[in-house]
Structure 1
């Protein structure tokens, strides 16, 4: 019986080692991909609601004219439903946050932020007409919202949501936007 040569033994054993190392690296890369897949991902609706909520902290209104901070939204959209969960029990500028869904024209002057979802485009012109001179932040995801008199459009570029701010529409009502929000937004003047 012939014994395998020492070189052959090393090559065979190193082949097992390389296969083992390759298998280990493959398992590690699959594990990394699985971990990345488990990272929290937010959908478009959740991101829009989060932006709306955070606008309350990055916009300054000329005067505190009410005892609460009022978000107003139309149609109880999916964004509105998530916003309702985000603001529950929260306060901004020492004021409790409230949400009014489907405000009537007489209630619009009480709002600090008005969100008009794309599915409610038919009421956009009337809503903007009621509040155009008031210090009320108007937000929408309607494609040409900022050209129609709105202040902040939540634009979806396919990969992320980015605020598009029509600065002229904001400043003419006495609102001021934080430089932190301005840096992360697209600005139109």
Structure 2
């Protein structure tokens, strides 16, 4: 379910730096990959006319080129560093870390009973130059403004 959400998030976000729609849309996973082969089916699919690519950068590597940055639990100590890079480079941050959106992340998975839902920190996204479609905002269980 989290992998499907990750793909769908790319359909409802507009990146201000994405002037060339021919460029691939890059989903980066930093830290321990919780998805394993679950993301493989989205590789090469189109979202907003852009081909999806997956990349697994190291924490201290250059994140340029990333459009979406999934931050795994193993990177919880590096949140501020990752948030700063994401804000400067216009990268959508996503994670299932507890209180992720309250700490400054943009989209956080939350579990409600047996169902996975998500929260959105609209201010963090706007500060990074991202626009989140109102349809996605309506589906969120909580939106921080």
Q: TM-score, normalised by structure 2?
A: 0.86
The answer as to 2:128 corresponding to 1:173 is: yes
Match of 2:94 in 1: 139
Shift of 1:110: 1.3
Asked if structure 1 preserves the Cα contact closer than 8 Å seen for 2:86 and 2:128, the reply is no
Structure 2 unpaired stretches of 5+: none
Q: Which has the higher strand share?
A: 2
Moved over 3 A (4+): 103-106
Q: Which has the higher helix share?
A: 1
Shift of 1:164: 0.5
Q: Which has the larger radius of gyration?
A: 1
**Residue by residue, what CA displacement relative to the aligned partner does 1:71-100 show, whole Å, maximum 9, x if unpaired?**
0002352325312x2312212222221111
In 2, Cα distance between the equivalents of 1:181 and 1:75?
Answer: 26
In 1, Cα distance between the equivalents of 2:85 and 2:139?
Answer: 29
Shift of 1:173: 1.7
Residue 64 of structure 1 is aligned with which of 18, 25, 47?
A: 18
Q: Say what the alpha-carbon RMSD is for the aligned residues.
A: 1.9
Shift of 1:135: 1.6
Match of 1:10 in 2: none
Higher RCO, 1 vs 2 (CA within 8 Å, ≥6 residues apart):
2
Would you say how many aligned residue pairs link Structure 1 and Structure 2?
142
Q: 1:86 to 1:184 in 2, by over 3 A?
A: same
In 2, Cα distance between the equivalents of 1:61 and 1:95?
Answer: 12
